[in-house]
Amino acid sequence: MKTRYIVVFILLFCSTLFLTNCGQKSEETVELQQETVTIIDNAGRTVELPYPVETAVVANRYNSELIRAIGAIDRVIAVDMNTAQDREFWSEFDPENTIGRGQRELNYEKIIELAPQVLITPKNGTWEEDAKILEPFGIQVVVVSGYDTFDFIDQVTNLGKMFGKEQEAETFIGWYSDVADYITVQIAEVEKRTVYLETLNEFATTFEGDFFYGMVTLSGGEHIFQERLEGLTGTVINPEEVIIKNPDVIVKMITPDHALSGTGLYEAPRLEQSQRVIEEIKNRPAWEEIEAVRNNEVYVMSQFGHGGASKLVGAAYMAKWIYGDMLPELNPVEIERQWMEDIQGFQFVDGHFYPVL
């Protein structure tokens, strides 16, 4: 009888121990299970990511600006040199600890050493190669193109989902949409005025499908070039083409001389530089007969300033330059201030757009 009691006791003890251990393992398993989120990125890829993303490296400053706008910049552990060069605007990042010069020149060894969960890089980079090299190391590649004006809502929504900042992303999108919708509705019935946008290089412009073209479209202007010219492989056009098209408005992009090629700085171009560039455009051979030159409608915007909020800031200035009093409630200076101070957390610096109406 005593033996039976002993056996029952042992069985009960073992059962209790087993259940206790199972409970502990179950709890441990729950702790080890990590939530995930699935998004469709700017390249149309379905990507499953850890939720929320805690560590990321980011190529392209426009992407970093969007991440800061939703309050997740503390999750970014390194950026590219094109971003980090701007010591005042990106003081939290070390120029000696970058992930490469830019999205087309990434340092994979450095990224693997940093071991982030995610690389965020734009569509005009080398994202396909990036994914092949980095994903075997457990580093997911997500395509976000912060310069893509017409994919702004989806991309900011994705960033909100990734970083667990959904509400902040929604607020940011609301601010953007208020400005964009006002421009669109206000000039819906207005006869479109024509625009020639010249980017940083002389006689370099934009065509439909390019990332600068979306800014012109959002402004309500009609760009004088739509489809890429026959036989043209790049973006540099014959200046005679501009004379023939005879735009109503000319907008030229500039950057301070000491910035890395093709990039922008928080520091605004000097007033003298902006004035000089406008005079140089007006004095180009035979350009004095272009409508924009005759009517003194030649403007400059900086590479840094125009790109705010996926080029919404640039589009607001362009819309005001193009249509003036037809947009009575549009104040691009205030929009730029809100972007810089309220959303990015930096002091507003004028001089990125000239002249200001």
* pLDDT digit string, tens, across residues 145-200: 999 999 999 999 999 999 999 999 999 999 999 999 999 999 999 999 999 999 99
Partners of residue 121 on adjacent β-strands:
143
Check whether 357 has a pLDDT greater than 80: no
Domains assigned to the chain: 36-164 (3.40.50.1980), 189-354 (3.40.50.1980)
Q: Which amino acid is at 116?
A: P
How many angstroms separate the CA atoms of 150 and 82, rounded?
A: 24
Could you tell me what percent of the chain has a pLDDT over 70? 90
The Cα 161–Cα 143 span in angstroms is: 14
CA distance 292 to 183: 22
Q: How confident is the model at residue 346 (pLDDT cuts 50, 70, 90)?
A: very high
pLDDT tens digits for 195-238? Answer: 999 999 999 999 998 889 999 999 999 999 998 887 787 899 99
Return the residue matching tokens 């998004």. Answer: 39
- The residue with greater pLDDT, 357 or 171, is 171
- Return the number of other C-beta atoms located less than 10 Å from residue 276's C-beta: 14
pLDDT at 14 over 60: no
Q: What is the pLDDT of residues 27-72, one digit of tens each?
A: 443 344 569 999 999 999 999 999 999 999 999 999 999 999 999 9
CA–CA gap between residue 102 and residue 170 (Å, rounded) = 29
